[in-house]
A = this chain, B = another copy of it.
Amino acid sequence: MNYPTIPLIDVVAAKQAEIRQNNLTKPRGSLGRLEEISIRLAGMKADPLPMVDRKAVIVMAADHGVALEGVSAYPAEVTSQMVLNFLDGGAAINVLARQAGASVTIVDIGVAIDFDLSLPGLLHYKVAHGTCNMAKGPAMTRAEAEKAVTVGMDVLAEVAEKGLDLVATGDMGIGNTTPSSAIVAVITGLPVAKVTGRGTGLDDVGLAHKVEIIEQAIALNRPNPKDAQDVLCKVGGLEIAGLAGVMIAAAARRIPIVVDGFISTAAAMIAVGLVPDVLNYMFCAHQSVEIGHQAMHKYLRLTPLINLNLRLGEGTGAVLAFHIIEASSRILREMATFAEAGVSDK
């Protein structure tokens, strides 16, 4: 499969942003990470005064064959029910996107049931009716995984056509912390039990069972840790593949990516495995309650922006982080310099 070329970070624009930050009416460095974010934005967007006005969250929905093994506290039909809730505007991601002034794009990339094709607002890009049960064999064929990555790239292109300064990734898929834990375990080599959490709310027995199922899936499928495509198709998910595609296509267009929680960060690991330079265009939004999330951030060497004990997915943490990223851009663009304001410097 051919992936697009990822442009280099513009170090000149980043340096110009840094110089400006040092001349704004505040002690140097006193806005901490807001300053760093604005400098990264400038480098990503090749613009010393980057704007983040046009914001979007892309939510990929898919089902998981492994849900049959009882790895989730919720029944599998919740995936499709939540898609309808997204379309009605009643889910958390709708509320938070309205607040942040971000558009919401909902994609059926692999939900088990067929939606009415006339359903307003849903993008129909179903690659399969959910994945196969990875505890019994590979979750997807290589062709399906590639098709799902391509869907993600196409959806990003579609959203970007209307103008896009910042994109967040979101997921919906009952059972999808299971493939996400499998991905982080395989790629980092950490024991499954160290990177597997309670998802939507498993009890201790449920959690122990989930760990066993993931260990079984890895033992059976033997994904190659050095081959992200192999990991993706054997123990991944369709929405994870799609989100990896979104990230690759965003980086190719110099659009900064705000990676949401545990599932999105699994997708980020796959994206970086497929196309390493995508990492230069990523912000990690938040620290999830899922225990494997820290290992993902450590692997990607990214520090999350917020920590509010979230564990919902849908892109909710990423859209919350939009406010912080927008603040960093506005500070850089709108504050007066010492000279402009007639304020004495140190």
Contact = CB atoms under 8 A, between A and B. Distances in A.
- 3 tightest A-B CB contacts, nearest first: A90-B336, A32-B309, A323-B323
Interface of A: 24-34, 73-75, 77-78, 81-82, 84-85, 88, 90-92, 94-96, 98-99, 200-201, 289, 305-312, 316, 320, 323-324, 326-327, 330-331, 334-336, 340-344, 346
Nearest to A332: B95
21 contacts: A25-B85, A27-B73, A28-B201, A32-B310, A33-B310, A34-B310, A75-B344, A77-B344, A81-B342, A84-B341, A84-B342, A85-B343, A90-B341, A92-B331, A94-B334, A95-B327, A96-B330, A200-B346, A201-B346, A308-B324, A320-B324
A30 B82 contact: no
Contacts of A306: 306, 324
A238 to B, nearest CB: 21
Contact of A25 (B32, B82, B320, B342): B82
A343 B74 CA distance: 10
B289 A32 contact: yes
A177 to B, nearest CB: 11
Given A327-B320, A336-B85, A74 B311 contact: no
Contacts of A82: 25, 343
A39 to B, nearest CB: 14
B308 A91 contact: no
A265 B50 CA distance: 33
Given A96-B331, A336-B88, A312 B342 contact: no
Contact of A201 (B25, B27, B78, B92): B27
B27 A74 contact: yes
Contacts of A305: 308
A59 to B, nearest CB: 14
